[in-house]
Amino acid sequence: MTDAAHSYLPRSGTDDYAVREYDLDLSYRVATNRLDATAVIRGRARVPLPAIVLDLVHLKAKRVRLDGDKRVRFTQSPTHLRITPPTPIPAGAEFTVEIAYDGSPVPRRTRWGTLGWEELTDGVIVAAQPSGAPSWFPCNDHPADRAAYRIRIATEQAYTVLATGEPTGHSVTSGRGVWTFERPEPTPTYLATVQIGRYTLEPRRTAGVEWVVAYPPALARRVLHDFAPVGTMLERFQELFGPYPFPSYTVVVTEDPLEIPLEAQAMATFGSTHADGRGGSERLIAHELAHQWFGNSVGLASWRDIWLNEGFACYAEWLWSEASGSHSAGVLARTHHTGLRLAPKDIVLGDPGPDLMFDDRVYKRGACLLHALRLRLGDDGFFALLREWTSRHRFGTVTSADFETLAQEHSDEPLAGFFDAWLRQTALPSLTR
C-alpha cells in the first residue's frame, strides 16, 4: 500500500500486518454504559514486526497475551495500543493476540463529527465510517484490511442485539441475553457494527434473499410502510448489479432520530426521522442497499477513491427512481449536473481530500460520471460493466484505476480523456461529450 493510501487518516491503520479474524466477546450494560470485553485478533505479519500497533480509543487494555504468552509487554496512548513481543515477529508469520479491555465507550470526535459506539435514549448504535471502529474494539483501522468476524454480546435480557454477521446463537442466562454472530466474508473495520435496542424483528424473503427489519414497536406502521419497497429494490438491483453478495440483509430503525442513515456489512441503520409513513426516505433506502454491492462487497483500497462507494450508491438512487416509475436517471443526472455547474469548482473527484470526502459533490459528480459513461457505452454495455465489476472484485478492494481499466475493456473508444476530465480535473465535463 502506498503513502497515498494512508493520507486521509495517517494515524489510523497500518500496512505492517493483515488481520485474518476478529473474535470479539462483549459484555455490556445498557443502564450504565459499561463494556467489559475480550478481543482475539488473528493476523499475519507483512514485514518484521518489533511491535503490533492497534487502534483503540477511550477504552483501557487490562491484559494482553501474544500466542499464549502471559508476559507480553504493552503500552497505551489515547489512540493506540502497542504490544511488544519478546522478539520481533518475522515477515510472513502468523500471530494471535488476546486483549482484555474495558471502560465506558463513547464516540470518537473527528473532523466529520462523532463516530463509533454511541448511546441512544434506550440502547446503542455503532456508526463507524470512517474511523469510529476503535471506539469499541482494538483493530487495524484501515478500509483495505478486511477480516472475518465472530461477535458475541451479552446484555440485559429486554434488549435485542443485532451485529455484523449471521446470527448463530441466542440464549438467556440470569436475566442476560447472549447473542452470537459470525461473518466469514472479508469485512473492513468501519463496516463492523453493533445495534442494541427494544426491537421487533420482521423477517422477509424476496428474490432469493432473506431480509429483516428491526424497529421499535411504536413505529411499526410507519416502518412497515416505508421499508416495504426493499424487496422490490433487491429484485431490481440484482438484475442491474448482479447477485446480492451476502446471505441476508438487515435494516435497523432506531427510536431516536438520526441525521443520516449509514451502511454496515449486510446491514443499514436508519433513525425514526427516516420513517415518516409517507416514503419520504425512499431514495436513502435505495442508497444504503446499493452499498452492499458498492463499498461493502467491492471495497476501497483507500479513502481517496470514496467516489467508488458514494457515486455508485447515489446513481443507484437514480436507477431506482427510474425503475419505480418516477424521474428517469437521465432527468436526475441533468438536474444535478446543473447544480454542480452552479457550485464551486474546487473539488477533484478522484482525490477530494479528507475535508471534502463526504461532500455532496462527491456523491453527485460521481453519479453524473456514471451516467455519462452509460451514455457512451449504451445500456447493455454499461450494466454488463457493473455486473462484471461486482463479480470480478467481489470481497476485494479496488481503486479508481481498476474501474478505469475494466471500463476500457467494455468500450470501443479510448476513455483516458473521459476519466481524466471527470476524476482529475476540477472543471465539470459535459454529460454527453
Sheet holding 52-55, edge to edge: 52-55, 80-84, 73-76
What's 382's DSSP letter?
Answer: H
Contacts of 415 (CB under 8 A, 6+ apart): 373, 376, 404, 407, 408
Closest CA to 161 of 146, 141, 176: 176
Query: What is the three-class DSSP state of 313?
Result: helix
Same domain, 288 and 310: no
Residue 405 burial (C-beta neighbours within 10 Å; 0-12, 13-18, 19+):
exposed
Percent of the chain with pLDDT over 70: 99
Q: In this predicted structure, what is the pLDDT of residue 3?
A: 57
Same domain, 15 and 120: yes
Cell representation of residue 100:
482484555
Residue 285 burial (C-beta neighbours within 10 Å; 0-12, 13-18, 19+):
buried
Last residue of a domain, one of 172, 193, 214: 193
Q: Let me know: does 224 contact 262? Beta carbons within 8 Å.
A: no
CATH code at 145? Answer: 2.60.40.1730
Distances (CA, A) of 374 to 75, 127, 241, 370, 394: 53, 33, 14, 6, 22
Same domain, 281 and 359: no
Across the chain, which distance is largest between two alpha carbons, in Å? 68
Number of residues that make up the chain: 433
Same domain, 138 and 188: yes
Percent of the chain with pLDDT over 90: 97
User: Which helix or strand (DSSP H or E) is residue 323 part of?
Assistant: helix 307-323
Q: Tell me what the mean pLDDT of segment 92-107 comes to.
A: 98
Is 429 part of any domain?
no
Same domain, 217 and 184: no
What's 306's DSSP letter?
Answer: T
State which amino acid sits at residue 252: V
Same domain, 213 and 271: yes
Is 141 part of any domain?
yes
CATH code at 385? Answer: 1.10.390.10
Q: Give the count of alpha carbons within 13 A of 432, CB side only.
A: 3
Q: Tell me what the mean pLDDT of segment 310-320 comes to.
A: 98
Q: How confident is the model at residue 1 (pLDDT cuts 50, 70, 90)?
A: very low
Q: In this predicted structure, what is the pLDDT of residue 70?
A: 74
Q: Tell me what the mean pLDDT of segment 344-354 comes to.
A: 96
Model-level pTM greater than 0.95? yes
Domain residues for the domain of 368 are 300-424
Instruction: Give the tens place of pLDDT for each residue, 58-89.
Output: 999 999 999 988 779 999 999 999 999 999 99
Is 430 part of any domain?
no
HEC string for 42-100: EEEECCCECCEEEECCCCEEEEEEECCECCCEEEECCCEEEEECCCCECCCCEEEEEEE
In the predicted model, what is the mean pLDDT of the chain? Answer: 97
Same domain, 334 and 403: yes
Out of 7-11, 192-196, 297-301, 397-401, pick the least confident. Answer: 7-11
Same domain, 51 and 179: yes
Contacts of 141 (CB under 8 A, 6+ apart): 9, 12, 13, 55, 131, 133, 134, 189, 190
Is 433 part of any domain?
no
CATH code at 244? Answer: 3.30.2010.30
Is 185 part of any domain?
yes
Is 105 part of any domain?
yes
Same domain, 255 and 401: no
Tell me phi and psi for residue 286, to 5 degrees: -65, -40
State which amino acid sits at residue 101: Y
Same domain, 166 and 210: no
Q: How far apart are the first and last CA of the chain?
A: 35
Distance from the Cα of residue 417 to its chain's centroid: 31
Same domain, 131 and 156: yes
DSSP H stretches of helix in 89-194: none
Q: What CA–CA distance (Å, rounded) separates 7 from 21?
A: 25
Q: How confident is the model at residue 4 (pLDDT cuts 50, 70, 90)?
A: low
Residue 224 burial (C-beta neighbours within 10 Å; 0-12, 13-18, 19+):
middle
Q: What CA–CA distance (Å, rounded) separates 127 from 287?
A: 16
Last residue of a domain, one of 292, 313, 330: 292
Q: Let me know: does 249 contact 286? Beta carbons within 8 Å.
A: no
**Interstrand relation of 80-84 and 52-55 (parallel, antiparallel or unpaired):** antiparallel
Place of cell 454495455: 381
Work out how many domains the chain is built from and give that number: 3
Is 408 part of any domain?
yes
Same domain, 48 and 161: yes
Last residue of a domain, one of 246, 275, 292: 292
What's 298's DSSP letter?
Answer: B
Is 431 part of any domain?
no
Greater confidence (7 vs 277) lies with 277
